[in-house]
Amino acid sequence: MTRNELIIYTVGMLAATNLFGIVYSYVVLNTSIFKKFRIQDKAYQPNIFKARFGLYFINLLMLLAFSAAGVYFIFDLFDTKDFTLWVIALQVFIAFVMDDFWFYFMHRYFHENKFLLRKIHSIHHRAHTPFPMEYLYGHPLEWMTGTIGVALGFAVIYFSFGSISVFAFLAFGFLRNLHEIHIHSDIELPIVSQIPFLSKTRHHDDHHSKLDGNYSSTFTWMDRIFKTTFRSK
Ligand SMILES: [Zn+2]
Ligand SMILES: [Zn+2]
């Protein structure tokens, strides 16, 4: 796989998951298809999709541009061969664990530091009743800080395995985006909720509705270890 091909696949994968997020948001906000799976019973603000779209779109463009630039500069660390499926799965898992580890402390600090909470993180928390697209609705500085966790994960993988599987990289990006869209959907789909280790939508939904506890994103163990779990039910 060439450098340009990996850039195209990365940008294409991120664009596709976000297109899914936009369509999913539209269906959630404008139809009753998923109504019985909703966690909160509060109505959405009128025209909320339109109100959120500007900042969401800026962050999406930044995500695409930063990902393309990132792949361009670290392309030599990638490898397309010599990895078994188990090693690829292990690399994806390590990337998620490290990302979640970083996210927990970063997110908790954004709440404990009242200046950062007021000036930066409060933008993401305008969503008391979130809908899928709002996973990318936040201060651009906040989500850029979040990418440190991704870099940390792939640095650990590179130093442990000698190179990063392109398939692990793409699979991680794809699954991470889908999971972020899912936990902001306010919808607890029975099948998705059965996936072992993953945090359920309710975990992050409770964080949005109560503004307290549940700082981890992908898993729930960081909140359990540091005793910051909050449960509405
Ligand atoms: Zn928060
Ligand atoms: Zn959120």
Domain extents in the chain: 3-225
Per the DSSP assignment, residues forming a β-bridge with 164 are 78
Q: With contact defined as beta carbons under 8 Å apart, do 161 and 87 qualify?
A: yes
* Residue found under tokens 């976000």: 18
- Please report which ligand is nearest the Cα atom of 205: 2
As a whole number of angstroms, the distance between CA 191 and CA 217 comes to: 19
As a whole number of angstroms, the distance between CA 79 and CA 157 comes to: 12
- The pTM (predicted TM-score) of the whole model is 0.92
**pLDDT of 232:** 64
In the chain, beta strands by DSSP E: 78-79, 164-165
Beta-carbon neighbour count of residue 131 at 10 Å?
Answer: 24
**pLDDT of 233:** 59
Alpha helices in 113-139 (DSSP H): 114-116, 122-124
Compute the distance from residue 166 Cα to the ligand 2 centre, in Å.
28
Compute the distance from residue 185 Cα to the ligand 2 centre, in Å.
10
The Cα-based distances of 232 to 9, 75, 208 in angstroms read 40, 44, 11
- Per-position pLDDT tens, the chain of length 233: 899 999 999 999 999 999 999 999 999 999 988 888 888 888 888 889 999 999 999 999 999 999 999 999 999 999 887 789 999 999 999 999 999 999 999 999 999 999 999 999 999 999 888 899 999 999 999 989 999 999 999 999 999 999 999 999 999 999 999 999 999 998 888 887 778 778 888 889 889 888 888 999 899 899 999 999 887 65
As a whole number of angstroms, the distance between CA 61 and CA 140 comes to: 11
Compute the distance from residue 41 Cα to the ligand 2 centre, in Å.
18
Q: What angle do CA 139, 140, 141 make, to 5 degrees?
A: 90
Compute the distance from residue 23 Cα to the ligand 1 centre, in Å.
25
Phi, psi (deg, nearest 5) at residue 200: -85, 165
